[in-house]
Structure 1
Amino acid sequence: MKSLLDKVNAKLNAQGGFLKAVSVLVGGTAFAQLIGFLCLPILTRLYTPEDYSVLGVYVAIVSILAVVSCLRFDIAIPIPENENDGKALLFLSFLSNTIFSIILYVVLFISYPYIQHYKIIDQLSYWIWLIPLGVFVSGFYSALQFWATRHKRFKDIAKTRMTQAISGNAVSLAGGMFSVGFGGLIVGQLLNFSGGLVKLAVSAKKDLAVVKSSPLKATFAKYSNFPKYSTFEALANVSAIQLPLILLASYIIGPTVGYLMLAMKVLGVPMGLIGSAFSQVYLANASSHFESNTLYSYTKNVIFKILKITIIPFLLLALISPYIFGYIFGKNWNDVGLYILAMLPWYFMQILSSPVSMSLHIISKQKLALFLQIFGFIIRVIILFLVILAWRYYSLAWYVISGFLFYFLYLIVILLNLKRLDFND
């Protein structure tokens, strides 16, 4: 028995502990995803598709704003070898996030009398005032999570995901039981954005007490490509994912966005379970592989590992999704299985490409990454908008096809650039 455990441990610690790190994150994320999935059949009986449509709009707005609130200094935190630079990047993330969130409240306060009668704003009602708060806690969590990634504290990250799942779903369930409407979903989502902040903050505080910080101005200049290029890249990327929900909610009456939101939650299980874990570990190890000129082979190995893990679950989901989700989620959600089936190719390409997308930043290809995201924004938002205006019947089909097309091309571009770099070296 001991020999077997030794072999398992040796396997997990192979390749710099890659599999062990992934297993820790997958374990924590699996627990979080299991809690969320077990709660869904109850939540779908407490809330209507229209409630989930409003939640989808709230999540879309917060996600778009939160991704730029730290000016992308947060994603740079794991990159520098110098600990002082990492600390300065963390401080820059906090500072940017705080100023951005305050500006959001000021803008919302000034503009609210003029926008309150728009359909989307009217749907959100007074819950709109939780948007800047959602942005603030999301940005704060992101910076602390990347600091934990820098120090390879994958157990801490895994625990925060458990906290998010438990607290967020508990509040949503309580809100549904007391019939507070979609507000219960929004407050639950706010806890999903922020759960585990205290734990990560305590760990970071201990680190920062013994590390000097590089001058913020010098660090800002050194990593200026992140706010200059990565900010717009991330904004284009998240907007391409989230803005279609707002467009569809604005122009298509009915439960469509609610179905899409639930389909995304279901498909987010493998994405959150596998994609997120691989992404964190890939980022923690990619810099060293870049230094040793092995980033291309390392990236291919990561993609192949993801492929082996996900191919069978995705095929099974394709076979059963049209038949089972009406029973699982209730009669109001009979059509959600068809939405899931249609979105499977898109999410399959996303789970392959997203974990290794940071490689373009590692090799200083921020301009290329920005171009790719602008291309994605054009085909996924601008063309969708035109389709909605001219051929509304085909808008959902284009929404799904454009998602698959973007992630497929993104993966090809990543591999070609890494291979070219490897060849030149």
Structure 2
Amino acid sequence: MLNLVITLRQKTHEVWHSRFVRSVAVIATGTAGAQAITMAFAPLITRLYGPEAYGVQGTFMAILGVAVPIGALAYPISIVLPRRDEEALGIIRLSVYVSVFVAALLAFGLWLGGEVAISILEIESVGDFIYLVPVAMLLAAWKQIAQEWLIRKKEFGVIARSALATSGILNSARALAGFVHPVGAVLIVLATLVEALHTLLMLIGIRKRTTVDRSEPSEVSKVSIIELASRHRDFPLYRAPQIMINAASQSLPVLMLSAFFGPSTAGFYMLSIMVMGMPTALVGMAVSDVFYARITEAAHNGENLSRHILRATGVLAVIGFIPFSIVMLFGPWLFSLVFGAEWSVAGEYARWLAFFFFFNLVNKPSNAAVPVLGIQRGLLFYEVLSTGGKVAGFLLGFYWLNSDIWAVATFSIIGVFAYGGVMLWIYLCAVRWDRDARISQ
């Protein structure tokens, strides 16, 4: 028994003093601070603006969420992968060029047919603010480029501090503006400006904290932008569509609720996903960012990838069990207590979405391993099937059950099965990778 206790203490000490856990803790601390600021302001902001204003902002963010993944055609994700910094810098230049071109193309398209798009999507509540989408998309692409370089250089502290400062400024601005003019338009403008602020803070961190490693001579500097675009073409071909479809599957409920039940219902949903997404934002994204860099390094070193995925997934499952279980049991009461009695419906949504977001949380390590395993084409195929199933579930709730709550419930249940399936598939791919690596040695 004594030996068992000593062994457990040694293992615990190894875990908490590992570089991986320290890196996760750095990002999680910054994210926790950012989320704490958001939650501290939330009871005030929800009372100032109300469900309708939240719904207008949610509709805009849903549209932006679908547009952002194609902003740089997912090329920034590949910045972490090259062994040498020079090739990574080439991908950064490629990503910037692509983001400017795509944003200009979208702006031109909206100039020609913006009013038609508003009418088709039934988003009159957003109105002319749809023309801010290309600007916000471009800023979001640059933010991702900066973040991926920081992940590559393992400067997780810069990411954490940037998130913390951005959250403080954004929520303070929301609260102050809410006393003067509490409408959805204010929330949309601030959501656009905050992308610029977040990007600027990370660029300042990059300038101060990162350097380019030129110690290894290579031919990378001679590689053209076109060659880099071709070398990493699986990102625009498979990963960008996959991310866009995934974003669409999460944005469609907001757009559908707004179209069928009005902006207030969409506002209830927006608040519920904001709260349910907190564990993912707090821990899941921190693990995902650090794990992406770690598993890339592990692949370069010939380590066991499936073991890394399994351990990280298990840790997230343990972390997420208690908070999501509490919302499942007491969701409506908690939302009414914290945000005001008019937000009880958001608690009902959250009760069902807790299942979905629990699996979304534990899926992060598997999703981060996809570029390393080279299975982005398969992930795209999965995303098409998953999104089709979730949209069908939502429509079932609308048209057959005639209930917004049942629409959210069916969406969540189908999403749970989809996440479970893709995690199993990615794990089996990692097992095959490990087996092939052993054979080749």
- After TM superposition, the score normalised by the length of structure 2 is 0.88
Pair 244,92 (structure 1): closer, same or farther in 2 beyond 3 Å: same
Instruction: Decide which of 357, 376, 379 is 1:366's aligned counterpart.
Output: 376
Give the match for residue 432 of structure 2.
Answer: 420
Q: Deviations over 1:270-317 (max 9, x none)?
A: 110010100000001111222314110011111112122222222233
Pair 221,55 (structure 1): closer, same or farther in 2 beyond 3 Å: same
The alpha-carbon deviation at position 423 of structure 1 amounts to 3.1
- 2:324 maps to 1:314: yes
1:146-225 residue pairs with structure 2 within 5 A?
146-204=148-206, 213=221, 214-225=223-234
Instruction: Decide which of 28, 33, 40 is 1:38's aligned counterpart.
Output: 40
Instruction: Decide which of 397, 400, 421 is 1:409's aligned counterpart.
Output: 421
The alpha-carbon deviation at position 254 of structure 1 amounts to 5.9
The alpha-carbon deviation at position 19 of structure 1 amounts to 0.6
The alpha-carbon deviation at position 116 of structure 1 amounts to 4.8
Measure, in 1, the Cα distance between the counterparts of 2:318 and 2:387. Answer: 30
1:69-84 residue pairs with structure 2 within 5 A?
69-84=71-86
Give the match for residue 4 of structure 1.
Answer: none
Measure, in 1, the Cα distance between the counterparts of 2:276 and 2:331. Answer: 11
- 2:171 maps to 1:135: no
1:163-312 residue pairs with structure 2 within 5 A?
163-204=165-206, 213=221, 214-253=223-262, 255-291=264-300, 292-312=302-322
RMSD: 2.3
Contact kept in structure 2, 1:168 and 1:188, CA below 8 Å = yes
The alpha-carbon deviation at position 203 of structure 1 amounts to 4.4
- Residue 80 of structure 2 aligns to a residue whose secondary structure is coil
The alpha-carbon deviation at position 369 of structure 1 amounts to 0.9
Pair 209,307 (structure 1): closer, same or farther in 2 beyond 3 Å: closer
Measure, in 1, the Cα distance between the counterparts of 2:163 and 2:338. Answer: 24
Measure, in 2, the Cα distance between the counterparts of 1:169 and 1:44. Answer: 12
1:63-102 residue pairs with structure 2 within 5 A?
63-102=65-104
Measure, in 2, the Cα distance between the counterparts of 1:178 and 1:204. Answer: 36
Measure, in 2, the Cα distance between the counterparts of 1:416 and 1:30. Answer: 33
- Residue 392 of structure 1 aligns to a residue whose secondary structure is coil
Measure, in 1, the Cα distance between the counterparts of 2:151 and 2:212. Answer: 18
Give the match for residue 326 of structure 1.
Answer: 336
Give the match for residue 395 of structure 1.
Answer: 407
- 2:388 maps to 1:378: yes
Q: Deviations over 1:227-252 (max 9, x none)?
A: 11111111111111112221221122
Contact kept in structure 1, 2:390 and 2:414, CA below 8 Å = yes
Contact kept in structure 2, 1:314 and 1:348, CA below 8 Å = yes
Higher mean alpha-carbon deviation, 180-189 vs 17-26, is at: 180-189
Instruction: Decide which of 338, 341, 365 is 2:351's aligned counterpart.
Output: 341
Counterpart residue type for residue 320 of structure 1: F
- Residue 81 of structure 2 aligns to a residue whose secondary structure is coil
Measure, in 2, the Cα distance between the counterparts of 1:84 and 1:316. Answer: 48
Pair 194,379 (structure 1): closer, same or farther in 2 beyond 3 Å: farther
Instruction: Decide which of 354, 360, 363 is 1:353's aligned counterpart.
Output: 363
The alpha-carbon deviation at position 146 of structure 1 amounts to 0.4
Instruction: Decide which of 115, 122, 125 is 1:123's aligned counterpart.
Output: 125
Contact kept in structure 1, 2:43 and 2:338, CA below 8 Å = yes
Pair 254,264 (structure 1): closer, same or farther in 2 beyond 3 Å: same
Contact kept in structure 2, 1:56 and 1:258, CA below 8 Å = yes
Contact kept in structure 1, 2:107 and 2:134, CA below 8 Å = yes
The alpha-carbon deviation at position 153 of structure 1 amounts to 0.5
- Give the gaps of 5 or more residues in structure 1: 1-6
Contact kept in structure 1, 2:56 and 2:263, CA below 8 Å = no
Q: Deviations over 1:126-147 (max 9, x none)?
A: 3222211111111110111001
Measure, in 2, the Cα distance between the counterparts of 1:273 and 1:299. Answer: 19
Counterpart residue type for residue 257 of structure 1: A
Counterpart residue type for residue 248 of structure 2: S
- Residue 126 of structure 1 aligns to a residue whose secondary structure is helix
Alignment length (residue pairs): 417
The alpha-carbon deviation at position 98 of structure 1 amounts to 1.1
Measure, in 1, the Cα distance between the counterparts of 2:118 and 2:362. Answer: 40
- After TM superposition, the score normalised by the length of structure 1 is 0.92
Counterpart residue type for residue 304 of structure 1: G
Contact kept in structure 2, 1:171 and 1:184, CA below 8 Å = no
Give the match for residue 3 of structure 1.
Answer: none
Higher mean alpha-carbon deviation, 415-424 vs 50-59, is at: 415-424
Contact kept in structure 1, 2:23 and 2:290, CA below 8 Å = yes
- Give the gaps of 5 or more residues in structure 2: 1-10, 215-219
Counterpart residue type for residue 353 of structure 1: N
Contact kept in structure 2, 1:69 and 1:97, CA below 8 Å = yes
Contact kept in structure 2, 1:164 and 1:194, CA below 8 Å = no
Measure, in 2, the Cα distance between the counterparts of 1:119 and 1:359. Answer: 35
Give the match for residue 217 of structure 2.
Answer: none
The alpha-carbon deviation at position 259 of structure 1 amounts to 1.1
Measure, in 2, the Cα distance between the counterparts of 1:375 and 1:300. Answer: 24
Counterpart residue type for residue 398 of structure 1: T
Counterpart residue type for residue 431 of structure 2: K
The alpha-carbon deviation at position 117 of structure 1 amounts to 4.7
- Residue 47 of structure 1 aligns to a residue whose secondary structure is helix
